[in-house]
């Protein structure tokens, strides 16, 4: 593709929904990070490649710092860096009342939605920052009605 930014657009949770739509419309190389839905992520990559684009799917549990570091190192090897990041993955937690929410569920949600987004943003910033030799880039962090319709309804 002509006019490509250096590196890849990284999309967490890009195997379906909004993340997949973003991946399919990107005009640069795309990397989809997924924890589950490997088949769906592979289909998005296949569609991008059939239309002349470049894409990669990598398994990574973004709440695990080492997974994120490993994924971004792989992106460096394949695409030479990162041009942007879309933090789209979300763990909405169990559908329950706040009074019934277990600490382990809350911790998992927090690790994914807050720390996971941070780990990905930090790795992207290391590569995109002009102070580190990068050419700049953008980070977009999203939420969705899916996350709002679960969690603690009627708390």
pLDDT tens track for 68-110: 999 999 999 999 999 999 999 999 888 888 889 999 999 999 9
| Res 153 pLDDT > 70 | no
Q: pTM (2 decimals)?
A: 0.89
pLDDT score recorded for residue 88: 95
Residue 60 phi, psi (nearest 5): -160, 130
The structural architecture, per CATH, of the domain 8-141 is 3-Layer(aba) Sandwich (3.40)
pLDDT tens track for 15-41: 999 999 999 999 999 999 999 999 999
């Amino acid at each position: 593709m002509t006019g490509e930014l250096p590196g890849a657009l990284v999309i967490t949770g890009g195997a379906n929904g909004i993340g997949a739509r973003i991946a399919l419309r990107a005009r640069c190389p795309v990397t989809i990070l997924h924890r589950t839905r490997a088949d769906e992520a592979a289909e998005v990559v296949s569609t991008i490649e059939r239309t002349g684009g470049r894409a990669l799917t990598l398994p990574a549990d973004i709440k695990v710092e080492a997974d994120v570091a490993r994924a971004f190192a792989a992106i460096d090897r394949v695409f030479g860096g990162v041009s942007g990041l879309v933090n789209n993955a979300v763990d909405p937690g169990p559908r329950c009342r706040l009074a019934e929410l277990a600490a382990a569920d809350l911790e998992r949600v927090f690790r994914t939605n807050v720390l996971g987004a941070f780990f990905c943003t930090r790795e992207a910033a290391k590569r995109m920052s002009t102070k580190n030799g990068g050419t700049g880039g953008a980070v977009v962090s999203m939420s969705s009605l899916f996350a709002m319709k679960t969690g603690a309804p009627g708390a």
